[in-house]
Amino acid sequence: MELSQQPLLGFLLNPFGRTPRSLKLVEHGVAIDGSTRNVVTFAEISSPPSIKNGLFVSSITLASDHAGETRLRAGGKARAETFRQAIEEAWRAFNLAELSQEADQINHLLQEIGDLKSPAAYPAACRLHPILSQAQKLDSRLLRKLRAEAIGIEHVEKLAVIRDFVEKPSVLRARAIKTFVDAELARWEEFFDTVEAKPLTPEQRLSIVVDEDATLVLAGAGSGKTSVITAKAAYLLKAGIRTADQVLLLAFAKDAATEMSERVEARCGAPVQARTFHALAYDIIGSVEGSKPALAAHSTDDTAFLALLQQIFKDLVATTSDVAHAIINWFSQFLNEPHNDWDYQSKHDWYSQVEQLDLRTLQGEQVKSFEELQIANWLYQNGVAYEYEPNYPHPLPKNGKRDYTPDFHLIESDVYIEHFGVRRERTRDGQERLTTAPFVDREDYLAGMNWKRQVHSDNRTTLIETYSYERQEGRLLDALTKKLEPYVTLNPRPLATIFDRVIEMGQVDAFTRVLGTFLRQFKSGGYHVEHCLEKADRLKMGPRARAFLSVFDPVRREYEKRLDGRIDFEDMILRAANYVEEGRFKSPFRHILVDEFQDISQSRARLILALKAQHQDARVFAVGDDWQSIYRFAGSDIHIMRGFGRKFGGRFDDENDIHRTVDLGRTFRSVDKIALAARHFVLRNPAQITKTVIPAGESKETAIRVVWTHKHDGMDKLKQVLSSFADLPAPAGKKTSVLLLGRYRHVDPGIRDLQRSFPNMSLSYKTIHASKGLEADHVVLLGADRGRIGFPSEITDDPLLSLVSPEAEPFENAEERRVMYVAMTRARFSLTILASESRPSVFVTELLKNPEYGLPRDIEAATLQNLCGECGGRLLPATSKADRNWYRCEHVRLCGNILPACPTCGRGLPRHRDESDELICPACSTSFPACPSCSDGWLVERKGKYGSFLGCVRYPACTGKARKSHQTAQR
């Protein structure tokens, strides 16, 4: 059918042919001017054609998406109307035909979307993503192109359901989830009331009915995580969501796996076998290879693993020269992470750092800086006999300072070495000058340097000088070598001898733990040494990282050789993951339930992901607590849990990390003063996932306290603490339980003897790591002291481990803080911390200083208010052999500030009050004039050549004095 302009009318109205001269109805649309190359298809027509009647001419208008409006002016109203109706009928028929072709899919989508109003199953992303994808494709292909006028209001209303789902899928899914969860909680109420000995909490119930692609249950200490994971498995079976062979329960320990299997079967009567990761991996390998490879003997024994690494060290030192040099170089120069005193603003902060690291030389003495450590170890390695800080043998005039002790004295050559902590800098006028660390008085220090030079010049002793700027420029030991050439003949000790010395000092034990952790994470994450070197350069980790890798790589290669065809646990997990990824193992599992998820490693996460990827509807249900992630040494990677959604989440509505997190919140263990203090403590690290904590109860008594220990009274103080528990009420029908905790095994105080002394209590000792999952009425934390193997441990959080971790943990003592959290949350009613008064852990100091932790204020007043004026540390009370009381700085070896007790009462320490020029004893209120030269001392009467005067009690360390006034004489 065709409609054309009449020739005369066309000439008059369209003389230049700028508008169409004819429209022709063809099979797929309307051809303009009869051209098959210029057709407006029915799919492009946006509305029925319209007619406008004039006095002599009728115009027909055709609207399309691409060509806009096409208008034909033609005479004859009847002809135009007939043509318009023909186009409209063809257009409607086309749209209805298109709709009819998709009827099955439309009906399917309407059914699926309609079911979301009252879903029979949890509307997980993996279930709805395919539906959404179909709806989006249908909408793009057809629905958005269909015209309402063409298909009629009934069809429009039906299709609006699909289009609404396409426009706001997340809103509809969220609504469906709420509907399902509310109904499911009500439907299974009786099950949740009876599945465990006590009814499940609202949070536990929610975690069980939520069934997202990836669900993370945050289960804090004592929150009932085992109840959740076993009830989840029972619910899946009882609800008919899965069969027993489709559910996989994974645990890290064999005992935990056995307990879960028994509990699930008891709850629902179906045998669901919980397995360890290693048992699962071993089964996968066996099913693919037909037999299971032999396990390395050390796979199940950490002690044997570390012993093997130590033996490899020893053998490499004895047999491989370049490796031996690398190993000895590491222990002599790089064992400790070098800290820069220029980064510290106070002496107290710097001294605390030095003491915590325990800078001990190969010869055995403690030194005061990393640079002194390097010098001392270089001398020892090269057979140069030396004394550290000996008394200078020549008499010197008394100047109120300590006796002069040069840094090093070389015994055979009688040469002295002084290391000066100065660096070079350029001033604005281009001149070079020496600078000191921020907490050091530059003028006094430079004057001291000149004084020492003059002493050696006057007494004709040989002085060799070294400087901090030489280390900064990477040439400290080379410069020392050249300076000593005229005086010293080097006689390097055999490498085996040095290594024996390293072993004797216990340094190999500590380093082996770091290297063992590094090796496990290296293998678990599939790292390469080249990548680690590149990362070390990128992170500006300096020569220490390269020195470490030069030791690690040969040890790793030798370790792989000694496996001799056997596999360790890291090999086992990775091989199984490969088989699953390649499809050589067909997984039956649709629900993967993982206990203690915070301990997951890269290789274990890869295995879970591979199992999940085999089935579009597979789910991961993980229960864990990132606050208790303390197994980095065994390969665990906390970042996997922190990035849970990115790793395991589903896809929906343009998001690729769809997951659900449920916070159990409630603890059934600790009272408020412990539970809330522990929460505050662990969340000081902002990277930890924030969780709610609802304590098990309220306590009116002090729940956390610190008991100070001194050099030889640790056992006496422990017995006093245990005796105090005897006066507390015990649980009905049970002995009072007391758990003693230590950071290391060697802290064990001898539990058998203690148990005999306290037969009415149930006593036990565990390392903090071994105590996970345990609880007691009272917990006593032993050895909360500062030091490399103190608590926090300097070993666990060695920055080198960031080379085999996707992300670094920048917060200081990040993992050790979590270890402390675990220790705190073992206690139901009280936590007692035994700490050295002279070397308290930084954790103890933090607990005492911050009122939010709720420790008794009298302890804080006694231990923190007397600050050393010389360095900012604490002044601690002590008693001399003659039973005289005095106070000394906690940094006794580095600062040495000493003050007598009040001469009036013999107990208190006179201190400044407000801005007064007097010091007042807090014990007896006697006042003393302040020393004009130092901040701690006060003036007392002394006799001199010219009679009585007032001198500082700190003499000879301070020579402050004043004339004796009449008022002072009266006092």
Higher pLDDT, residue 942 or 660: 660
Q: Which residues contact 961 (CB under 8 A, 6 or more apart)?
A: 939, 942, 949, 950, 951, 952
Q: Would you say 878 is a known binding-site residue?
A: no
Q: Is there a binding annotation on residue 219?
A: yes
Is 445's pLDDT higher than 70? yes
Name the residue with higher pLDDT: 20 or 128: 128
864 band by pLDDT with thresholds 50, 70 and 90: low
292, 298, 301, 304 alpha-carbon torsion, rounded to 10° = 170
Report whether pLDDT(971) > 50.
no
Residue 334 CB neighbours (<10 A): 21
Distance between first and last Cα of the chain: 128
**Mind listing the pLDDT tens digit for each residue in 283-325?**
999 999 999 999 998 987 888 999 999 999 999 999 999 999 9
> Tell me, what amino acid is at 491?
N
- Measured N-to-C along each axis, helices 507-524 and 495-504 cross at an angle, to the nearest 10 degrees, of 90
541 DSSP assignment: -
The SS3 assignment for 320 reads coil
* Cβ–Cβ < 8 Å for 662, 206: yes
214-218/247-251 β-pairing: unpaired
Query: What local confidence, expressed as pLDDT, does residue 963 receive?
Result: 83
State the pLDDT at residue 256: 86
Helices (H), 358-505: 370-381, 442-458, 468-472, 476-484, 495-504
> pTM of the prediction?
0.80
- Name the pairing type of β-strands 591-594 and 247-251: parallel
- Structure tokens, 150: 């063409």
Nearest to 162 by CA among 140, 184, 191: 140
Query: Is residue 225 a known part of a binding site?
Result: yes
How many angstroms separate the CA atoms of 129 and 497, rounded? 67
Q: Are strands 911-912 and 918-920 parallel, antiparallel or unpaired?
A: antiparallel
- Please give the pLDDT value at position 16: 46
**Cβ-based neighbours of 580, under 8 Å, separated by 6 or more:** 284, 587, 607, 610, 611, 614
Q: Cα(514)–Cα(544) distance, rounded to whole angstroms? A: 14
DSSP 333: I
Q: Is 220 annotated as a binding residue?
A: yes
Cβ 739 vs Cβ 779: under 8 Å = yes
923 is in an annotated binding site: no
Q: Tens of pLDDT along 141-170?
A: 888 888 888 888 888 888 999 999 999 999
Query: Which residue in 614, 702, 612 sits closest to 212, CA to CA?
Result: 612
Strand pairing report for 214-218 and 660-663: parallel
What average pLDDT score do residues 610-624 get?
A: 96
Cβ partners under 8 Å of residue 20, min gap 6: 32, 33, 70, 71, 72
Using alpha carbons, list the distances in angstroms from residue 756 to 716, 759, 763, 780.
15, 6, 10, 18
CA distance 544 to 331: 11
pLDDT tens figures, 179-202: 999 999 999 999 999 998 899 999
> What pLDDT does residue 11 have?
46
Does position 784 have pLDDT exceeding 90, yes or no?
yes
Q: How far apart are CA 542 and CA 554, in angstroms?
A: 20
Q: For residue 849, how many C-alpha atoms fall within 13 Å in the half-sphere facing its CB?
A: 10
Q: Are strands 885-889 and 898-900 parallel, antiparallel or unpaired?
A: antiparallel
Q: Please give the pLDDT value at position 229.
A: 92
Q: Which H or E run includes 63?
A: strand 58-64
| One-letter amino acid for residue 920 of the chain | I
Q: Is 223 annotated as a binding residue?
A: yes
Question: What's the token pair of residue 322?
Answer: 């370049």
Q: Regarding beta strands 885-889 and 761-767, do their DSSP bridges make them parallel or antiparallel, or are they unpaired?
A: unpaired
Residue 594's nearest CA partner among 265, 237, 251 is 251
Q: For 760-782, write each residue's pLDDT tens digit.
A: 999 999 999 999 889 999 999 99
Highest mean pLDDT among 141-150, 502-511, 573-582: 573-582
If residue 415 lies in a helix (H) or strand (E), which one and from where to where?
strand 415-420
Tell whether residue 321 is among the known ligand binding residues: no
pLDDT (tens digit per residue) in 943-970: 887 888 999 998 888 888 888 764 443 3
Does the annotation place 222 within a ligand binding site?
Answer: yes
SS3 content of the chain, % helix, strand, coil (to 5): 45, 20, 35
Residue 739 and residue 915: Cα distance in Å, rounded? 48
Taking Cα atoms as reference points, which of 557, 559, 533, 554 lies closest to residue 800? 533
Distance in angstroms (rounded) separating the CA atoms of residues 849 and 864: 8
Q: Look over the chain and give the mean of its residue pLDDT values, rounded to a whole number.
A: 89
List 942's β-bridge partners, or say none. 949
Environment class of 421 (CB within 10 Å of its CB; exposed 0-12, middle 13-18, buried 19+) = buried
pLDDT at residue 400, rounded to an integer:
55
Rg (CA), the chain: 40
Residue 265 has pLDDT above 90, yes or no: no
